[in-house]
């Protein structure tokens, strides 16, 4: 009897086994590739509000409002002052100077006749891609967010709670309701104007209505509002909700950024569009460096909150019970900023801040919730060893304008006083910039909350990682001066 059939059967089995092994090996390699590559779909119009095509009339209205100082209590600052196109939708300083100062960015100053409250306590966040639907929270601590449980009539969890009116298009529009209420940013302080007075008394709807009343008196604005909204027949129909919706529509359109080399790679699958260093950096980002554990998804953010031992500089948010600065200087303030904890009051959220999107990150420094780092390399190195970086941090890494005159608040309740700080005491006042960082107990609390493990990368690998971060830059975002209007309907100087 021939042994050939048995041999053929064995050979076929052997071949089949080899094929199975090869298939499994290929699957394993593919899985490994997914672990070290982005594995995400490219961004499309459907990822944005209005499918990326908001009403042009609403956008035109929002552009005018964004640059108009009429929306500030003292008519001296606009949204664009801290989110200027020329500065990549930020102000390019660590902590800006709000109402009372003049100029833009590092050139913004507060002279003897222009006192300010001091620094805005957090870094001005970039606006790129904030019109994408996945951005469900706003601000570094997420204090404005979508209300999934339907708790508030407005549809959003915010510091205004039940005072926030209904009718806002999205969370980006809800965010636009709040800078105009901030005494240090746009409203001014009690006694300066009626809007600031309403805010100081927690009459938030009154403050928004007063701003809307200003808009109703400008014929050019009435025409723009009527073009943008069918329901507006007369000036009396204009509300600040309409204004916020328009500002959001402008921001979503003007600062959309999804034409970077990384986007071209996602759409084509061709890694050569990145360049060799950036391609190596991408493998590190989604692999060994562990960046994508938080910076995930199409916009490189998990939209969550994490404690990463980022240095705290500046005036903070008045958190905690530490009175060491008060005892040292006589200025009765506390200087901590406890981040997400301020919203949830959950101790697990101490010193957590929202994962920032990394789109256009090359353009949007200084980095960190307080703008502690002015160098992209420095912030990358911080994320590789947060606690060591925090302990070694020196405030000269920040970019801070020096105000010549600042206002101190004294008293309480109805007897609050707002007076310029005596020039002889400015030195003590300025100590707040680095107080938390220089105080071991306060700095130690930030370090103790850190949740990032340290990772070792060589200098060449860090260079490659930075090359990838630069591949996230949309080239059209490098020059945005075309967004600045020549004039605004109020006739006030344009924030330029």
Closest CA to 229 of 18, 49, 237, 460: 237
Which listed CATH number (3.40.630.40, 3.40.470.10, 3.90.226.10, 1.10.760.10) goes with 261-475?
A: 1.10.760.10
Give the pLDDT confidence of 124-178 residue by residue, as tens digits: 999 999 999 999 999 999 999 999 888 999 999 999 999 999 999 999 999 999 9
Residues of the chain with CATH 1.10.760.10: 48-90+125-258+477-483, 261-475
For residue 366, say if its preceding peptide bond is cis, omega within 30 degrees of 0. yes
**409: confidence class by pLDDT, cuts 50, 70, 90:** confident
The chain-wide mean pLDDT, for the chain, equals 91
pLDDT at 397: 97
Q: Let me know: does 266 contact 192? Beta carbons within 8 Å.
A: no
pLDDT at 9: 43
pLDDT at 301: 98
Of 27-31, 67-71, 351-355, 405-409, the range with the lowest mean pLDDT is 27-31
pLDDT at 108: 92
Q: What is the rounded distance in angstroms from the CA atom of residue 282 to the CA atom of residue 468?
A: 6
- Please report where in the chains the tokens 């390019």 appear, as a residue: 92
**4: confidence class by pLDDT, cuts 50, 70, 90:** very low
User: Which structure tokens are listed for 67?
Assistant: 């640059």
pLDDT > 50? residue 203: yes
User: Which structure tokens are listed for 381?
Assistant: 């190195």
Give the pLDDT confidence of 433-490 residue by residue, as tens digits: 999 999 999 999 999 999 999 999 999 999 999 999 999 999 999 999 999 999 999 9
**39: confidence class by pLDDT, cuts 50, 70, 90:** confident
Give the pLDDT confidence of 365-390 residue by residue, as tens digits: 999 999 999 999 999 999 999 999 99
pLDDT at 423: 87
pLDDT > 80? residue 106: yes
Q: What is the rounded distance in angstroms from the CA atom of residue 466 to the CA atom of residue 482?
A: 29
Which listed CATH number (3.40.50.920, 3.40.50.1100, 1.10.10.10, 1.10.760.10) goes with 48-90+125-258+477-483?
A: 1.10.760.10
Q: What is the rounded distance in angstroms from the CA atom of residue 128 to the CA atom of residue 486?
A: 23
Q: What is the rounded distance in angstroms from the CA atom of residue 62 to the CA atom of residue 228?
A: 10
User: Which structure tokens are listed for 243?
Assistant: 């204004």
């Amino acid at each position: 009897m021939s042994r050939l059939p048995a041999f053929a059967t064995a050979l076929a089995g052997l071949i089949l086994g080899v094929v199975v092994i090869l298939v499994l090996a290929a699957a394993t390699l593919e899985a490994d590739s997914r672990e070290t590559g982005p594995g995400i779909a490219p961004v499309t119009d459907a990822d944005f509000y209005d499918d990326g095509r908001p009403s042009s009339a609403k956008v035109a209205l929002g552009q005018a409002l964004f640059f108009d100082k009429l929306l500030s209590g003292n008519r001296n600052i606009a949204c664009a002052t801290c989110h200027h196109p020329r500065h990549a939708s930020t102000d390019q300083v660590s902590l800006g100077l709000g109402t009372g100062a003049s100029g833009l960015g590092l050139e913004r100053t507060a002279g003897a006749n222009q006192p300010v409250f001091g620094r805005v306590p957090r870094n001005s966040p970039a606006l790129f891609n904030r019109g994408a639907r996945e951005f469900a929270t706003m601000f570094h601590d997420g204090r404005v967010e979508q209300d999934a449980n339907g708790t508030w009539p407005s549809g959003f969890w915010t510091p205004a709670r039940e005072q926030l009116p209904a009718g806002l298009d999205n969370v980006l529009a809800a965010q636009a309701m709040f800078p105009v209420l901030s005494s240090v940013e746009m409203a001014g302080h009690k006694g300066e104007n009626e809007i600031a007075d309403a805010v100081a008394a927690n009459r938030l709807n009154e403050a928004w209505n007063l701003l809307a009343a200003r808009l109703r008196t400008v014929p050019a604005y009435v025409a723009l509002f009527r073009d943008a909204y069918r329901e507006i027949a007369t000036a009396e129909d204009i509300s600040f909700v309409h204004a916020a919706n328009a500002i959001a529509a402008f921001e979503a359109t003007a600062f959309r950024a999804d034409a970077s080399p990384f986007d071209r790679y996602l759409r084509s699958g061709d890694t050569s569009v990145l360049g060799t260093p950036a391609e190596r950096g991408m493998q590190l980002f989604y692999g060994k460096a562990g960046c994508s554990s938080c910076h995930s998804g199409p916009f490189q953010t998990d939209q969550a909150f994490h404690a990463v031992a980022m240095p705290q500089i500046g005036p903070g948010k008045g958190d905690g019970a530490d009175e060491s600065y008060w005892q040292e200087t006589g200025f009765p303030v506390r200087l901590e900023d406890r981040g997400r904890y301020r919203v949830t009051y959950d101790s697990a959220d101490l010193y957590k801040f929202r994962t920032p999107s990394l789109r256009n990150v090359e353009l949007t420094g200084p980095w960190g919730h307080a703008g502690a780092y002015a160098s992209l390399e420095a912030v990358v190195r911080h994320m590789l060893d947060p606690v060591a970086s925090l302990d070694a941090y020196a405030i000269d890494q920040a970019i801070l304008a020096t105000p010549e005159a600042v206002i101190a608040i004294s008293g309480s309740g109805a007897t609050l006083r707002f007076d310029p700080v005596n020039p002889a005491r400015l030195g003590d006042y300025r100590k707040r910039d680095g107080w938390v960082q220089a105080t071991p107990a306060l700095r130690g609390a930030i370090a103790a909350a850190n949740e990032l493990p340290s990772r070792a990368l060589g200098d060449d690998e860090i260079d490659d990682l930075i090359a990838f971060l630069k591949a996230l830059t949309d080239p059209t975002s490098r020059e945005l001066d075309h967004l600045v209007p020549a004039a605004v309907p109020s006739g006030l100087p344009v924030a330029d």
